[in-house]
Structure 1
């Protein structure tokens, strides 16, 4: 099967109402006459609803925003288990191409696996003006990760990782199970992302929750020491868990992101 054929997924699935992709047009009258695009990616087993408020906050500043739905998300965990890293990366790549074609500058951002996806985009697209990551995952200290090549053939899933949110009454609407074949595919991309981190020369804004029950502390030093950029800002989130874009520190993420985008996309 050709690489292109592998990325075709035609199964008809019911999509969760909150999984609708979000987009907003550029409003250059609010951004100094320049058209600025922002691509935001949600995480593994999540859906656009987990970061749409982030996108909406940036759209209010005049930025063109794209929040795609990654294939296999917002449907069923069983469908997600038939898909791979290549499918998710193809989706964000297409969204990036659209933004680059329509705007003067583009910034990318992502939550969790979405952070890994946009780091990979930055490695392959030096034209990106800046990168924003929230609790990104490119490594783990969990011992069961090493057993995934075997476990994925024995059991279909592990318990879900969704809803790691400190704020009461907030729902991520992610899957209640973690599909093992799919997550193993994600983890197989980690060594490639880590090896190519030196290709990231543009500014990086890194938000990290001080208490995160999904992504442990293994990723942060690899990313912050691995990129070549001399413009790396780490912002601790003291009052949020993993899905910080829906948690107490969301306003901080939104405000700092807007300031970062304005800075890195300003005209020379």
Structure 2
């Protein structure tokens, strides 16, 4: 019985010792647990900015230094004029004659004082004026000829040329006008609002007769055609006189006045 009690006491002591040891280990675990500070570093904090700097090449193109075009366009109404001197149709109203016309000075007379030959077919009260109208070309060409057709007359002697001016009745027979290619090409020059022209080829066709009405004459006698031109609009006047040689009006003088608007070629 003593042995049993001793054994029981020994076992109880061992159990108590084990309990104390277990409690001691539990306290040690609490005391030695270290609080770990967060060490997480975000990628945003540690990623180096490796973006390449802006390498765009600056615009080094030279500035536009083109100078504005200051070249003045040439005046189409100055210098040698090539084109059509458009004929405005003559008219007579209230005693005033306007537009283009033809008159004839009697032998021994003057352009300033006459006397002038009356035309029984004139549409004006002053029958010494024969009114002119544009032909199929619109008027007088400068820089080209306007030849008469072949034949130049019909069976009764009426002139048939109609490109420069329309034929005009004169004492019952039509006279016509053309520029003869056998003579110098018609040329007119403009300078500071004035006109000077070589119309030596200008020819009248009347009653089966051919009469040079050039200015100057083909032999250089007489004076050149002269006139005016508006440097802005091309409105013009052109005047000349020419002695008639031969035929029914030998020794008489033709007086020509054209007006209208010049249209340059091109």
TM-score range, shorter chain: under 0.3
Larger proportion of strand: 2
Query: Larger % of helix: which?
Result: 1
Greater relative contact order (Cα < 8 A, sep 6+): 1
TM-score, structure 1 normalization: 0.24
